[in-house]
Amino acid sequence: MKLTKQVISLELAKRLKELRVKQESLWYWCEQFMTIQGKKIVTSKLYRFRDDFIIHKLDRYEWYSAFTVSELVLLLLEYPDEGTRMHKLHEIYADYLARELIVYKSQKEK
């Protein structure tokens, strides 16, 4: 599965940062702004750690946490109103994924 499908989109990452969600995650989106031959170019790329990013003649860049599903669940658990609901959802999804894996492995062994 592509990494971009395992983390939130850049647009959602920007919105969460605007809402002051703490920017601590395993992956980070880096939006890079540069000028090449007079043309302004904006690109975005995922990095494992912010330290992995090397500055290449950039005019400006901005970091956003690219949260995984597990990281989002942990963040939601910090909010008392959502905590109980998220615990239940997390348990349901864990069981669902386990069942899917059992079905897959069972079919492979036939």
What share of the chain in percent tops pLDDT 70? Answer: 74
Domain boundaries, the chain: 1-67, 79-110
pLDDT tens digits for range 25-35: 988 988 887 77
Q: pLDDT > 90: what percent of the chain?
A: 15
Q: Can you give the pLDDT at residue 61? A: 77
d(CA 55, CA 69): 29
pLDDT at 40: 78
Q: Say how many C-beta atoms besides its own lie within 10 A of residue 23's C-beta.
A: 14
pLDDT of res. 19? 92
User: What confidence score (pLDDT) does residue 85 get?
Assistant: 66
Radius of gyration of the chain (CA): 19
Distance CA 86, CA 50 (A): 29
Q: At what angle do helices 69-77 and 80-109 cross, to 10 degrees?
A: 150
In the block, residue with structure tokens 């599903």: 69
Mark the ranges of the chain whose per-residue pLDDT is less than 50: none
Phi-psi sector, 104: left (phi>0), alpha (psi -120 to 50), beta: alpha
